[in-house]
A and B are shown apart, each in its own frame.
Chain A
Amino acid sequence: GDSVTQMEGPVTLSEEAFLTINCTYTATGYPSLFWYVQYPGEGLQLLLKATKADDKGSNKGFEATYRKETTSFHLEKGSVQVSDSAVYFCALSDRSGGSNYKLTFGKGTLLTVNP
């Protein structure tokens, strides 16, 4: 079955540091890939997505590139802010027949950014 593995946290950084959160996946079909973010006490929000190989999703300074050859979708940001402190989830949607667009999530990575 489908699965998503992301680096375990927590990750603690100082403001303006570079961020990488690793994500790799296993899928039977050709999935779309997503990063969701969950701020404290809130639901999940879509951060970015990519639907085919070599696509780069980007939003709010975050980027991730769909790497089919390494089955990866690592999240990066060049300079994090305190307001980026949240839990980040990598997810995939397997578009093969009958999937009904269900999402498979990683376990989440808690990021804390200190001033």
Chain B
Amino acid sequence: NAGVTQTPKFRVLKTGQSMTLLCAQDMNHEYMYWYRQDPGMGLRLIHYSVGEGTTAKGEVPDGYNVSRLKKQNFLLGLESAAPSQTSVYFCASSPGTSGNLGRETQYFGPGTRLLVL
């Protein structure tokens, strides 16, 4: 199993441009999450999904949109990138309600480094 994969690994955008980050998991997990990591801030939840076709806002959702059209994929979109969105973005998944043991444990992808100029 590949686990959680993220595409791309690194991207440079100009202010105002748009892009989509792709997260894929092959563990048949119900729940998926998008975080951003900034120096001294730890990880902050952007959006999450508790199943195919569902999405919900996390702690810092402004400026981002998400979609979960397929169970294994979770897309994070930036419609009009801003320098404040320069960050490292991590996707994670967890078994959620479909799991017995370890339903809360989240498994992380390798991250996408985004620079907005």
Contact = CB atoms under 8 A, between A and B. Distances in A.
B48 A100 contact: yes
B58 interface: yes
A89 B92 CA distance: 15
- The DSSP consensus for interface residues of chain A is strand
Interface residues of A, number: 20
Contacts of A32: 104
A53 interface: no
A93 B48 CA distance: 14
Contacts of A36: 108
Query: Which of B45, B103, B105, B111 neighbours the largest number of chain A CB atoms within 10 Å of its CB?
Result: B105
Contacts of A45: 108
Interface of B: 4, 31, 33, 40-45, 48, 50, 56, 58, 90, 92, 94, 96, 103-111
Given A42-B110, A102-B48, A105-B42, 6 more contacts: A34-B105, A36-B108, A44-B92, A45-B108, A100-B56, A101-B103
